[in-house]
Amino acid sequence: MTDASTRELAQDALSSLADGVTLVNDAGRIVFMNPRAEELFGVHAGEWIDADAGKFFRALAKNSTVGDVLAARFAQQTVRARELPFLEFSLRTPREKVIQAKWFALQDANAYGVLWRDVTHEKEVDQMKNQLLSTVSHELRTPLASIKGFATTLLRSDVRWDEATQREFLRIIEEESNRLEELIDNLLDMSQVEAGALRIHREPVQLRRLVREAVENAQRRADSHWFVMDLPAELPRVWADPRRIGQVLNNILENALKYSPNGGQITVTCEIEGETVLTSIADQGEGIPRELLERIFDRFFQVDAASTRKTGGSGLGLAIAKGIVEAHGGVIWAESEAGQGSVFRFSLPIVNESDFLENQDIE
Ligand code: ADP
């Protein structure tokens, strides 16, 4: 640095850096700490300027999840800055985070700097990706193992299966293939939801027709359930993608059947609420603990993963339903108490008829 203004400029640049920076002089004392470093470690630069860098590192190590091990690594790092460029550690306070530290030697042989990066978010995303991969592979593997098992059994040349058994095995293979197909469709929908790229083709839709179709569909699969539809005589049209909203209704109705194993009434209601139509689906099933009401809309979340394994389902249905309803500008939520049945509600915007007429004119 040649003059004062260059020095100031450099200091400004270091101060506004998104990463934390600490500079240590050749006597091992801290000479600079930028605001980001203060924020990361919850300290004031004033307290540490001119302090022994070793002391600062020991304070950090104490606050980390590995303590002495980190203190030793810090000491090593300081001596061999050029050889060990990276060090990663987790801090417990002020807020749990993962920090990546990068040493760099300064022109003056013994002086050095450390760049501190908060990589907590990257780590979380990595962890989520890994979890997603392992869940997905598990979910794909289960039906696949079944298909493979029954196909191999059928192909055995040393056993002759009677026709009824063959048909039964083929039926299972078909059922498991359908499950696999549904899962892959769900995963594709889910990835579109997450990328904010869910394609919906909205048009003015009569909810009455969609509700009726979905209920008829569910009725075919129900044995100990009965359905009640409570729709007002005059229901305004909503702006919706009929295929996607049909998917939401089918999913919620299927859950209503699945999670009320003792049967009972399933009521579908549509009512006008301001500028929206609110659709509610109420069952008399096992209900959902209050504290989990929001989490059931998270992907792969299941209240009782062990029992849903048996009933089928991957924990994606409601996450997709939420993505679809939100892409329509609507809201979806559940109301329930364990053992008291559940109500799922979602809103869709009513078509403003005058807007619609204007749009028609333009076309
Ligand atoms: P799944 O494929 O497991 O049904 P969903 O995303 O559709 O996945 O639902 C997530 C979880 O929410 C289910 O595993 C279940 O625990 C709970 N759930 C959904 N609908 C109901 C309901 N009507 N009654 C009780 N629990 C429900």
pLDDT tens-digit map of 206-233: 999 999 999 999 999 898 999 999 999 8
Residue nearest to atom 19 of ligand 1 (CA): 255
Mean pLDDT of 3-16: 84
pLDDT for 142: 87
pLDDT band at 362 (very low <50, low <70, confident <90, very high): very low
Atom number of ligand 1 nearest to Cα 315: 8
- Assess whether pLDDT exceeds 70 at residue 204: yes
Atom number of ligand 1 nearest to Cα 287: 25
Structure tokens at 149: 């098992």
Q: Find the 302 Cα to ligand 1 centroid distance in Å.
A: 6
User: Where is 224: in which H helix or E strand?
Assistant: none
Q: Which residues contact 26 (CB under 8 A, 6 or more apart)?
A: 108, 109, 110, 111
Residue nearest to atom 20 of ligand 1 (CA): 255
Q: Check residues 136 and 270 and name the one with the higher pLDDT.
A: 270
Atom number of ligand 1 nearest to Cα 286: 25
pLDDT for 124: 84
pLDDT band at 356 (very low <50, low <70, confident <90, very high): low
Phi-psi region of 332 (alpha: psi -120 to 50; beta: other; left: phi over 0): beta
Counted residue by residue, the chain has a size of 363
Q: Find the 255 Cα to ligand 1 centroid distance in Å.
A: 6
User: Where is 7: in which H helix or E strand?
Assistant: helix 4-16
Residue 278 pairs with which residues in a beta bridge? 271, 347
The predicted-structure confidence for 312-341, as pLDDT tens digits, reads as follows 677 889 999 999 999 999 999 999 977 889
The predicted-structure confidence for 96-127, as pLDDT tens digits, reads as follows 899 999 888 887 778 888 999 999 989 888 88
The predicted-structure confidence for 41-61, as pLDDT tens digits, reads as follows 999 999 999 999 999 999 988
Question: Ligand 1 test: best mutation among 138, 298, 302, most atoms within 8 Å of CB?
Answer: 302
As a whole number, the mean pLDDT across the chain is: 88
Kindly report the number of other CB atoms within 10 A of residue 258's CB atom.
18
pTM for the complete prediction? 0.68
- Assess whether pLDDT exceeds 60 at residue 25: yes
- Reduce the DSSP state of residue 103 to 3 states and report it: strand
Atom number of ligand 1 nearest to Cα 341: 24
Question: Ligand 1 test: best mutation among 318, 320, 345, most atoms within 8 Å of CB?
Answer: 318
Share of the chain above pLDDT 70, in %: 92
Phi/psi of residue 196, nearest 5 degrees:
65, 30
Q: Is the peptide bond before 35 cis (omega within 30 degrees of 0)?
A: no
CB contact at 8 A, 225 and 264: yes
| Distance in angstroms (rounded) separating the CA atoms of residues 325 and 101 | 43
Candidates 282, 271, 253; CA nearest to 207 is 271
Q: Which residues contact 209 (CB under 8 A, 6 or more apart)?
A: none
Pairing of strands 225-230, 264-273: parallel
Q: Find the 297 Cα to ligand 1 centroid distance in Å.
A: 9
* Tokens 């209503």 found at: 256
Kindly report the number of other CB atoms within 10 A of residue 281's CB atom.
25
Residues in contact with ligand 1 (CB, 6 Å cut-off): 251, 255-256, 259, 283, 285-288, 296, 301-304, 308, 313-319, 342
Angle (CA) 333-330-250 rounded to 5° is: 65
Structure tokens at 145: 């193992």
pLDDT band at 363 (very low <50, low <70, confident <90, very high): very low
pLDDT for 306: 63
pLDDT for 137: 85
pLDDT for 312: 65
Atom number of ligand 1 nearest to Cα 304: 16
Residue nearest to atom 7 of ligand 1 (CA): 317
CB contact at 8 A, 299 and 315: yes
| Distance in angstroms (rounded) separating the CA atoms of residues 363 and 358 | 9
The predicted-structure confidence for 143-169, as pLDDT tens digits, reads as follows 999 999 999 999 999 989 899 999 999
Query: Which parts of 168-289 are beta strand (E)?
Result: 203-205, 225-230, 238-240, 264-273, 276-282
pLDDT for 355: 63
Q: Check residues 93 and 249 and name the one with the higher pLDDT.
A: 249
Among 172-186, 187-201, 233-247, the least confident range: 187-201
Candidates 333, 308, 311, 310; CA nearest to 321 is 333
